[in-house]
Amino acid sequence: MVNSRVYRKAEPEPVDRKTALVREEGFLERFTGNINNTPAIFNPLDGKFYDASVRNRVMRTLDDRSQDVKVLIRKHAERDLMKTYEEMPKNPGVVFEIWHQQMFANRQLRVVAAAASTSPTEEMIRRGSSANPARPEDLKRVVDLVASQEGVFYYIGAFSTTGWTEPCRQLLVGGNYLVALSDVAHGAWRTTFAPDARWRSSMRLFDLATDEEKIEAIRAFARRQTFALLMDELTEDYVYEELGYPIPVIREAFEVIASEDRFVRLETAEVPYRLIRVYG
Beta bridge partners of 158: 116, 181
Angle between helices 247-260 and 236-243 (to 10 degrees): 120
Residue type, 122: E
Our CA angle for 250, 238, 31, nearest 5°, is 55
**In the structure, what pLDDT confidence band is assigned to residue 75 with cuts at 50, 70 and 90?**
confident
Calpha distance 103→83 (Å, rounded): 53
Calpha distance 182→74 (Å, rounded): 30
Residue 11: pLDDT over 70: no
Residue 9: pLDDT over 70: no
- The closest alpha carbon to 39, from 113, 117, 148, 115, belongs to 113
- Arithmetic mean of pLDDT, 161-180: 96
Residue type, 139: L
Per-residue pLDDT, 147: 95
Per-residue pLDDT, 104: 67
Residue type, 156: I
Please give the C-alpha separations between residue 37 and each of 47, 205, 206, 244, in angstroms, as whole numbers: 21, 9, 12, 23
CA atoms within 13 Å, Cβ hemisphere of 77: 20
User: Do 242 and 221 touch, CB atoms closer than 8 A?
Assistant: yes
- The model's pLDDT over 209-234, given as tens digits with 9 standing for 90+, comes to 999 999 999 999 999 999 999 999 99
Residue 21: which residues within 8 A CB-CB, separation 6 or more?
A: 87, 88, 89, 90
| DSSP secondary structure letter of residue 37 | T
Greatest mean pLDDT range, 3-7, 83-87, 89-93: 89-93
- Arithmetic mean of pLDDT, 52-67: 87
CATH 1.10.10 domain extents, the chain: 210-280
Q: In this structure, which CATH number among 1.10.357, 1.10.8, 3.40.50, 1.10.10 belongs to the domain 210-280?
A: 1.10.10
- The closest alpha carbon to 119, from 192, 179, 183, 75, belongs to 183
Share the mean pLDDT of the chain.
91
- Would you call 31 helix, strand, or coil by DSSP? helix
- Percent of the chain residues past pLDDT 70, beyond the cut: 94
Length of the chain: 280
> What is the model's pTM?
0.88
- The model's pLDDT over 234-266, given as tens digits with 9 standing for 90+, comes to 999 999 989 989 999 999 999 999 999 999 999
CA 211 to chain centre: 15
- The model's pLDDT over 97-154, given as tens digits with 9 standing for 90+, comes to 999 987 667 889 999 999 999 999 999 999 999 999 999 999 999 999 999 999 999 9
**In the structure, what pLDDT confidence band is assigned to residue 73 with cuts at 50, 70 and 90?**
confident
- Arithmetic mean of pLDDT, 78-96: 89
- Arithmetic mean of pLDDT, 195-210: 95
Per-residue pLDDT, 67: 76
Residue 8: pLDDT over 70: no
Per-residue pLDDT, 270: 94
Write out the DSSP string of 81-129: HHHHHHHS----EEEEEEEE--TTS--EEEEEEEEEEE--HHHHHHHSE
Per-residue pLDDT, 91: 92
